[in-house]
Amino acid sequence: MSSKDTPSADRDVSERGLHAKHADDPTIASYISSLLYVLSFPVLVLLSYWGHWAGFYPYDSILWVFGGSLFLLIAVTFLVMHFGTTGR
């Protein structure tokens, strides 16, 4: 008996987590999750620099704004995943 998360001879490590537990088809949610994961860091960096260029805060604050934005993104992601999976 093997789990979907365990690599085997017919499933290599690159397929772990990509497929849903039903019908082995990738879901829209898995594609969106991957897209957000890949784009989140560069988008936060660009938004942090854009805020400086727009005159919202001085150059020295870019790192603090980026750190706060990253923390907020992680918190929102946690809340969405928590309430999305538990239904509460």
48-69, pLDDT tens digit by residue?
A: 999 999 999 999 999 999 999 9
- Mean pLDDT, residues 14-31 taken together: 61
Q: 26 lies in a domain? A: no
Q: 27 lies in a domain? A: no
Does 10 or 49 have the greater pLDDT score?
A: 49
pLDDT value for 31: 81
pLDDT at residue 87 greater than cutoff 50: yes
SS (H, E, C) 17-66: CCCCCCCCCCCHHHHHHHHHHHHHHHHHHHHHHHHHHCCCCCHHHHHHHH
Does 37 or 69 have the greater pLDDT score?
A: 69
Q: 2 lies in a domain? A: no
pLDDT value for 84: 77
Number of domains present in the structure of the chain: 1
Range of the domain at 66: 40-88
pLDDT at residue 71 greater than cutoff 50: yes
pLDDT value for 77: 84
Q: 20 lies in a domain? A: no
